[in-house]
Structures are given as C-alpha cells and as structure tokens.
Amino acid sequence: MLTDSHTHLNAEQFNEDQDEVIQRALDAGVTRIVNVGFNRETIPGSIALAERYDFIYSTVGWHPVDAIDMTPDDLVMIEDLCKHEKVVAIGEIGLDYYWDKSPKEVQQRVFREQIRLARKLNMPIVIHNRDAHQDILNILKEEKAAEVGGIMHCFSGSWETAKQCLDMNFHISFGGPVTFKNAKQPKEVLAQVPLDRLLIETDAPYLTPHPFRGKRNESAYVRLVAETAAEIRGITLEELAEITTNNAIRLLGLK
Ligand SMILES: [Zn+2]
Ligand SMILES: [Zn+2]
C-alpha cells in the first residue's frame, strides 16, 4: 500500500501514455496518488485526473517560478477549488531562487498570500523550496504556517532545517534524490525524521530515482524510494509503505 504523495501525472511528458503510467503504479503497489496542480495550465488537468480516478487526489496552488503570472482571480480560483472533495492541500507553493522568471519579492508575496488562504480555509500546504531555506523558514514562521502544517516536498535541507520544519507541524517528504549514492545529507535526515512525519514521493516526471536516473520518472518508481527509505530505517518495505500511507491519510484526509 504505497502512496506517492507528490506527482505531476498530467504533465505533457505523460500525454501519450497516462493511463499505462497509472496502471503501472497500481501494479507496483501504489494505492494512493496525490497529483499536484500548480499553475493556470496544470490545475484543470490535475482536477480532471482526481475526478477520473478514485485513488488520485489533487492539490491546487501557485508555483513560485510562475508567481509573476498569478492574478487576484487565480487566487479566487484556488480558493473555490479548495471546496472540491478531491482537493486535499494548497500547493505546491514556496520559493525557488534557482530559476529567475519571478523576482524574489513577487515569489514571497504570492507565497504569503497562499499561506494566509490556507489558514483561512484550514488546508495543509505543500512547500516547494529550492535554494531558499532561510527565507522559507522565516516566512513560514511569520505567517504562522504551523496552524495548518503540511509537507516539505522533496526535502533537500539539513537536519537543522528539518527540525525547524517539524517544530512547525510539517511532514518531511523524500523523493528520487535520496536514492542517489552521493546523497549523504538526505539519507542522514531521513534516518532521523520521526516515523509519523515521514512521506515519500516521486515528483514525476522529474527527479527520477536510481537506477533510472536521467529517464522520465513515474509514480511506480515511488517503490524505489520506499526501498531506500526502509533500508535506512531498518524496517521492511511493507512497514515503510504502511507508515507513510497512514501519514498521508491522516494529514490529507485521504480515503
Ligand atoms: Zn516542487
Ligand atoms: Zn512538484
């Protein structure tokens, strides 16, 4: 009973074979998928997927890379979609200082607006963080994100950063990079995260785990992340799958 807590199955990379990709996930033991809609182009497709498949849920939010494009109407759309029964979180939201399409100040404003919306609606949030650890922590603190909590997706920070996120009521999710041989820090953090706060994901079609690194990622490969995580924690794959699935069910209200 694996759960892929963060994936993008309506990305154009899956246009040709989306149904087969979903079937392969089922065959690999994936019982729940959280698909992420993160801008004007991807939100409708993510909702449609969640409506088509019982075991697929959706988040809605505005990605920091696209922050410059978000209008007040888009925020209203996100608020309206949060009432949809298959929408389980606001995200992915956050800061991305690697890409420079959206200026930092715009990213920070859009991030804050969505945390405030999440608190108003009492929805958990999914955080995207690239090269912005300190600003993410500061904004989460200032905006009282601990009231709603959520997921630090594809976590890549230090144990110090992870501890502060845990203190603010967040779960820590690991993806493909933790399977890489040289991923010393993610493995160290994964070894220490309380088991009741641990999640796994693919972020497909990106961040493909070993041994498929460089190829297109897909939800079935969450099993490879689970195997690595189980090995690091010294528990069985079945135990790891059950623990992380129960965490996702509890946090996001999945069936
Ligand atoms: Zn992300
Ligand atoms: Zn993502």
* pLDDT the model gives residue 186: 97
Distance between CA 104 and CA 4 in Å, rounded? 30
Amino acid residing at 43: I
Which ligand does the CA of 154 lie closest to?
1
User: How many angstroms is it from 194 CA to the middle of ligand 1?
Assistant: 22
pTM (2 d.p.): 0.98
**7 CA to middle of ligand 2, Å?**
6
CA 153 to ligand 1 center in whole angstroms? 7
Note the pLDDT tens digit of each residue in 76-122: 999 999 999 999 999 999 999 999 999 999 999 999 999 999 999 99
Query: In this predicted structure, what is the pLDDT of residue 215?
Result: 98
Confidence of residue 239 (pLDDT cuts 50, 70, 90): very high
Q: What's the confidence (pLDDT) of residue 211?
A: 97
What's the 203 CA to ligand 2 centre distance in angstroms?
Answer: 5
